[in-house]
Structure 1
Amino acid sequence: MGLTLKSNNSKVKQVFGPVWILVVFTILALSFLTLARFGLSVWQGERVFGSHAWLSIFIGGLIVDIATLSYIIMPALLLTLVMQSINWQNKVCGLIKIYLVAMSALLVFFEVITPTFINEYDLRPNRLFIEYLIYPKEISKMIFSGYKLDVVIVVITLVLSCKFASKVFSHQWQRKSSLTRLNQSILALVLVCLTILGARNSLGHRPLNPAMVSFSTDHLLNDLTLNSLYSVVFALKQLSNEQSSQDYYGKMPTNELLSIVRNNMQNTQAAFSDLTAPTKTFHAASNTGKPKNLVIILQESLGARYVGTLGGLPLTPNIDALYKQGWGFDNLYATGTRSVRGIEAVITGFTPTPSRAVVKLDKSQHNFFTIADFLAKKNYNTQFIYGGESHFDNMRSFFLGNGFKDIVDTNNFNKIDFNGSWGASDEDLYDQADLELTKLEKQNKPFFSLIFSSSNHSPYDFPDNKITLYDKQKQTRNNAAKYADYALGTFIEKAKKSSYWDNTVFIVIADHDSRVSGSNLVPVDHFRIPAVIFGKGIAHKRDDQLASQLDIPVTLLSLIGASGEHPMIGHDLSKPISDNKQRAMMQYDKNFAYMHGNKVVVLQPQKPATTYTYSNNKLVPCENDEQLIKKALAHANLGNLAYTNGWYH
């Protein structure tokens, strides 16, 4: 029987000829990707099997894998068929084997790194993976500091898989086909048609895309149907196109969109007279006295779950103390999951989109509204202080092009006692900030300074013997959050004794939560962040109204006495806001959430909008609220239209 099977296998090889190696590659790759998906599903078993999602994951996964492999083998198939027809197959044999080994290595690499990526982002590798590749120095430091074991596993797995693939493909190479020329041509035509059909995986107008195999309200379950190479390549394609939110969520007439957005703004009497900036209107500051300085302290990766006073872990005694002294927000939500999204919201008040944050987009590098540019025109000194290298995430270029006059990064620090993977420690950052603010105060003109921390970022490097560790192992999220709070406390003590304290409004606010994850389409609870405004003259208040990061820059301008026209649609939280206008907006990968009261509308690419009740940190499906869906769609599409049409200036 064994001889018969071997003989049959040999006959099949002879029939396929040089194409047989592509068949072997496809079988091996499909088996590997299915096994990898099975391993991830078992690892996430509580979410997969608890929701009975395994069948959808594996059927959808097979569809995606076939499409992925069809795209991979298509160039090799065409080359093989052409060379076979002119008897040059020996000359391209080595080239095809190298190509298939390289493709095997790519498939293996992306699947092996997937568990680490899921641990961090609760998603397969996607556009974040691509964006991080732009900064090899910072990322390599982070990887080799915090993920040494992962690197070893990846390298060993790649070496072994490449050796295995090379051996198999060399052994399985078949020089000639036993078929006649006519039958070879028929087989070639069939294989090309099957490959094209497999790549499109659809007879409809659109080829396969992730929306076609998504089935769950759990974002990770939808991602498990993909393979990681497909996920990254699809993200790269979308990144190059910067697909608009209208292509994702559906279109709305511009006049209707602007009417909805304007009606949801705070001032019902606002006049919109600038056709080139349809959301620009005059905003009167609540502070009518002498203009004050403004200092924004943007805290890296600090979700509400790490802040004791917000019901989180007891890691932030200094922020907790600020909540007892200043104006603390209990129900404030970030717009995204990355630092550039937090910068976008807090510095520009720009609504989130499925595209990259405006910090990184080409058309927003000059003449794009920021509060720095707004204040610079009011004779403010404007400054950005960062413990790392300010070119990261394109911050330096964006800031210098849009109102920041001075950039102070690690290259300009007077001293650095501790240098981690992301640059100077938060203590060093705040020491330098105190020096900079003292110098600015002596210039007898108001100033605005943005201070951006970095110690609370993987791999969580911070100095020894500064805090009592919360976790036994030093380099953990919890310990880094506790150290970041400790460093902040040292700065606040200095600031209270400084020359700039009396005339400055301060805010501590997170850019986003760390490791945003969960089984909802948008894990709303992981978007809740701390923010507290403090300084001389700021009355103590606990504010539980629903608010967004977008409201913060408008509020801060009002508190420092900076009246004027600008295009931001955020609310001034120092003034009354009717309940029907309170809202938060959240962008989670390709999904957009619009929250009003306890209702949340979620928009997904190429899918109908859905409405949920937000209860006990979960989204519970409910009857669609058509008016709320319209509000969500208008605000989801506003950013893309404003960017494309140059409205935000």
Structure 2
Amino acid sequence: MKSRLKIYFSLLLFWLCFFWLSKLLFLFFNFQEAFAQSGTDWIKIFVYGFRIDFASAGYFMLFTGLIIAFLTYTHSKFLYHIMNVYVILILFINILLLISDLELYSHWKFRMDSTPLRFLGNPGEAFASVTWTTILRQIILGSVLFALSYFSYRKLIGKQIKNLQKTNWSASLLFLALTALSFIQMRGGLSIVPINISAAYHSKNMFTNHATINLFWNVGQSLIEQKNIKNDYLFFKNKDAEKIVAKMCQKNDSTTNIFTTEKPNIVFIILESFTAKVIKPLGGLDSITPNFNALAKEGILFRNCFANGDRSDKGIAALLSGFPALPNVSVMQYPGKTQKLPFFSKELKQLGYHTSFYYGGNPDFANIKSYLLTAGFETLISSADFEKKENTAKWGVHDHIVFEKLFQDIASSKQPFFKVFFTLSSHDPFDIPKPHHFTNRGDDSKYLSSVYYADKALGTFIAKAKKTNWWKNTIIILVADHGSLRPGNSGHFAEESFRIPLLICGGAINKKDTVFTNYISQTDLAYSLLLQLHEKCDSFKYSKDIFTQNTPSFSFYAFNNGFGFFTDSSKVIWDHISKSYITKSGSGAEKDSEKGKAFIQVVFENFLEQ
């Protein structure tokens, strides 16, 4: 039994060493970027990469554990040959990925995922830019790496397998237990958030983040997510659809100025799961958000703002990159695609803003951290930046504590600043540090109480902010990441599930107690604010100016297997499974339904091409 355990853990170490060797090859292959990093950065590449390397090795060890468990009574030569075939197969796949990635990275500047596989259907185009010398070089490199790795395996582990003796049934039970533990290893532990590629992201320098990535994990995760992803939303010829969308998103040269200063500070508060159904000025329930309701009289409230999607990752990408949500897929799950997005934070940095992002949870969730670092945020505050005694919420740190941290940091921040705070207390399971304010609302009581708590924390922050010197030069943006089926359990496709609050207030706003009724989406916000700063940014190609009344008035949102498209004259909700309209009403419904179909077709094509 001891011999088998030694073989098992030797194989685990073997795969970890292979991953570390792969990282070294990546660094030396990209020596200009690599040697521009400090020695500390090199160490961090391996330290921060260990968790995802270890999880990746778990996939290999799963089959290893099963082989050893079920071949306890067989002759060692049979086990030896089985393991030989298995190791050769795994080495071949990983080395093929590695030599491809080493070449592709120099062109694409993101680690290989499933993207190149889309081009294999057209091999002529796929290999048109690759010379024979490059192919030969990579084959030689791969062959040398394979020979070195396999020779090491044969000498260090293969010999041990050859000399194994038969053992009793207890060894089988032990290795079945180790196999079960492999599932925990593959998941990255027992935390609420399974490990994902964000675990490798730790730096503002994207190269060091890329070097930290485990290639096998990156390709595997991308393949799983990419599986069966294609644009099923094809209603027109692409050129015709693009013409429709171009007219919908036509840019204006002028806007209505709402700022009292040229470069106001911007505090962007993304309210988790807030819905218009709990905002009284938007026709929602009374007494749920008294602080938000009061603030609505101090700024600009948008009556018809819609979330683009139904998840946080989709909402953040829409708000900060102007990229619309799509059914069944999220751009944030593809770091290679997010690198090609425009970023509100990067545009502000070029204007001299100091940028930071606050989140009381684990930013590895939904690949948020990799997105934020790609977006160029200079500071990222998360649950790891708070004391253990403050990490008492299910998701991390309660909102009122993070609001206090935000307030303290602003006091010492250089102006102009751009600070984003993504709240979490109103996320299921609605864990809050105080007794539930509502107890008689049935299943909705916990949700409504969490919103009430978040609103109270917001009110405390605003009250303190109004007494500071920076308030008069600051705008506050309050917007949800997505809506909620609660209260009332609306349909997952329903209008009320996607209608969200958007309020712009603060000391640097020149309009008070104003309500805009035009139909807008999250994707419009960043672009519109850049126009207020006299920055034209056409890279936000799916956005329109929300402060000008002569721009098209429409909202778009996507849900699983469908979309909604609303204008001043129509409401259209399309179910793509049944290929029929759930809702199609209003005088402009026929024409607007074509706009909605064209919009989702063009955005999906853009997503696949990135």
Distance 2:587 2:465 in 1: 51
Aligned counterpart for 1:256 among listed residues 235, 240, 249: 240
Counterpart among 132, 137, 159 of residue 191 in structure 2: 137
Match of 1:602 among 570, 573, 577: 573
Query: 1-side partners of 2:578 and 2:584: how far apart?
Result: 19
Shift of 1:598: 4.7
* Residue 241 of structure 1 pairs with residue 227 of structure 2: yes
The residue number in structure 1 matching 2:14 is: none
CA, structure 1 residues 471+496, in 2 after alignment: closer, same or farther (shift >3 Å)? farther
Q: Separation in 1 of the partners of 2:325 and 2:521?
A: 11
What residue identity is the alignment partner of 1:546? Y
Q: CA deviation at 1:623?
A: 9.5
Q: Distance in 1 between matches of 2:582 and 2:420?
A: 37
Within 5 Å, give how 1:118-129 maps onto structure 2: none
Query: Which residue is equivalent to 1:329?
Result: 302
1:80-120 Cα shifts (integer Å, max 9, x gaps): xxxxxxxxxxxxxxxxxxxxxxxxxxxxxxxxxxxxxxxxx
CA displacement 1:106-144 (0-9 Å, x = unmatched): xxxxxxxxxxxxxxxxxxxxxxxxxxx88951269xxxx
Matched, 1:446 2:416: yes
1:307 counterpart letter in structure 2: I
What is the deviation of 1:289?
5.0
Q: Deviations over 1:253-301 (max 9, x none)?
A: 3322221111112536x7xxxxxxxxxxx99977595222211100011
Q: Distance in 2 between matches of 1:512 and 1:135?
A: 29
Change (3 A) 1:589 1:135: farther
Aligned partner of 1:302 among 251, 274, 289: 274
Determine if the alignment matches structure 1 residue 644 to structure 2 residue 599: no
Structure 1 residues 535 and 558 mapped into 2: Cα distance closer, same or farther (>3 Å)? Answer: farther
Distance 1:135 1:500 in 2: 43
Q: In the TM superposition, what is the alpha-carbon distance from 1:333 to its structure 2 partner?
A: 1.2
Cα separation, 1, equivalents of 2:314 and 2:524:
14
> In the TM superposition, what are the counterparts of 1:182-193 in structure 2 within 5 Å?
none
Q: Cα distance, 1:645 vs. partner?
A: 2.8
Distance in 1 (alpha carbons) for counterparts of 2:526 and 2:293: 22
Q: State whether residues 374 and 403 of structure 1, in contact with CA within 8 Å, keep that contact through their aligned partners in structure 2.
A: no
TM-score, normalised by the number of residues in structure 1? 0.55
Match of 1:395 in 2: 368
Q: Among residues 547, 554, 561, which one is paired with 2:520 in the alignment?
A: 547
Match in the other structure for 1:476: 446
**C-alpha separation between the residues in 2 aligned to 1:327 and 1:414?**
37
Instruction: Determine if contact 1:383/1:404 at 8 Å carries over to the other structure.
Output: yes
Q: How many residues align?
A: 396
Aligned twin of 1:347? 320
Equivalent residue of 1:137, what SS?
coil
Deviations along 1:330-373, one digit per CA (max 9) or x if unpaired, are: 22111121111211211111112124222222322424211112
Q: 1:259 to 1:512 in 2, by over 3 A?
A: same
Whichever residue aligns with residue 395 of structure 2, its letter is: W
Deviation track 1:11-37 (CA, whole Å, cap 9, x = no partner) reads xxxxxxxxxxxxxxxxxxxxxxxxxxx
Greater CA drift, 348-357 or 527-536: 348-357
Report the Cα offset of residue 544 of structure 1.
Answer: 2.2
Letter of the 1:590 partner, please give it.
N
Unaligned runs of 5+ in 1: 1-132, 141-235, 271-281, 615-621
Q: Check 1:633–1:351 CA distance in 2 against 1; reply closer, same or farther (3 A cut).
A: same
Instruction: Using the TM superposition, give the Cα deviation of residue 487 of structure 1 relative to its aligned residue in structure 2, in angstroms.
Output: 0.6
CA distance in 2, matches of 1:530, 1:542: 12
Change (3 A) 1:454 1:288: closer
Distance 1:521 1:461 in 2: 23
Q: Report the alpha carbon displacement of residue 521 of structure 1 after superposing the two structures with TM.
A: 7.5
* Contact 1:322–1:534 (8 Å) recurs in 2: yes
* Segment drifting more, 630-639 vs 356-365: 356-365
Check conservation: 1:285, 1:562, Cα contact below 8 A: no
Structure 2 partner of 1:500: 470
Does 2:564 align with 1:593?
Answer: yes
Query: Residue 291 in 1 paired to residue 291 in 2?
Result: no
Asked whether 1:537 is paired with 2:489, we answer no
Q: 2:335–2:371: 8 Å Cα contact kept in structure 1?
A: no
- Within a 5 Å distance, the mapping from 1:190-589 to structure 2 comes to 239-241=225-227, 243-244=229-230, 246-247=231-232, 249-267=233-251, 290-313=262-285, 314-413=287-386, 417=390, 419-440=392-413, 443=414, 445-464=415-434, 468-469=437-438, 471=440, 476-515=446-485, 522-538=493-509, 539-540=511-512, 541-578=514-551, 581-589=552-560
Report the equivalent of 1:627: 591
- Give the letter aligned to residue 432 of structure 2: F
What displacement does 1:452 show? 0.4
Look up the equivalent residue of 2:382 and give its one-letter code. D
Aligned residue for 1:239, secondary structure, equals helix
Which deviates more from structure 2 when the two are superposed, residues 254-263 or residues 340-349?
Answer: 254-263
Q: Distance in 2 between matches of 1:512 and 1:520?
A: 14
Determine helix, strand or coil for the equivalent of 2:455.
helix
Secondary structure of 1:573's aligned partner: coil
Give the Cα separation in 2 of the matches to 1:585 and 1:135: 38
Give the direction of change, closer, same or farther, for the CA distance of 1:635–1:609 in structure 2 (3 Å limit): farther
Matches within 5 A, 1:39-188: 137-138=191-192
Match of 2:249, SS?
coil
* Cα pair distance change 1:472/1:507, threshold 3 Å: same
What SS does the corresponding residue of 1:633 show, helix, strand or coil? helix
Q: How far apart, in 2, do the equivalents of 1:256 and 1:592 lie?
A: 20
607 and 470 in structure 1: CA distance in 2 versus 1, 3 angstrom threshold: closer
1:582 aligned partner, one-letter code: S
Q: Tell me, in whole angstroms, the C-alpha distance in 1 between the residues paired with 2:520 and 2:600.
A: 17
Give the letter for the 1:403 counterpart.
G
Q: In structure 2, what is the Cα distance between the partners aligned to 1:387 and 1:322? A: 24
CA spacing shift, 1:368–1:564, aligned 2, 3 Å: closer
Q: Distance in 2 between matches of 1:451 and 1:484?
A: 12
Moved more, 292-301 or 307-316: 307-316
Shift of 1:472: 8.3
Aligned Cα root-mean-square deviation (Å)? 3.4
Whole-Å separation in 2 of the counterparts to 1:416 and 1:290: 41
CA distance in 2, matches of 1:535, 1:298: 16
Quote the Cα distance in structure 2 between the aligned partners of 1:309 and 1:641.
38
Question: Per-residue displacement from partner, 1:492-517 (whole Å, max 9, x unpaired)?
Answer: 11211223312221111111222368
Task: Give me the whole-angstrom Cα distance separating, in 1, the residues matched to 2:582 and 2:307.
Answer: 20
Structure 1 window deviating more from structure 2 (394-403 vs 546-555): it is 546-555
Structure 1: how far apart are the matches of 2:224 and 2:381?
34
Distance 1:343 1:416, change over 3 A: farther
Change (3 A) 1:251 1:500: same
Change in Cα spacing, 1:402 to 1:592, as seen in structure 2 (3 Å) is same
Structure 1 pair 608–624 and aligned structure 2 pair: CA distance change class (3 A) = farther
Contact 2:325 / 2:558 at 8 angstroms: preserved in 1?
yes
Question: Shift of the alpha carbon at 1:535?
Answer: 0.8
Q: Deviations over 1:466-487 (max 9, x none)?
A: x854548997111111111111
CA distance in 2, matches of 1:639, 1:382: 28
Once the 2 structures are TM-superposed, how far is the Cα of residue 431 of structure 1 from its aligned partner? 0.6
Q: Is the 8 A contact 1:347 1:372 kept in 2?
A: yes
Distance 1:380 1:561 in 2: 14
Q: Compute the displacement of 1:600 (Å).
A: 2.6
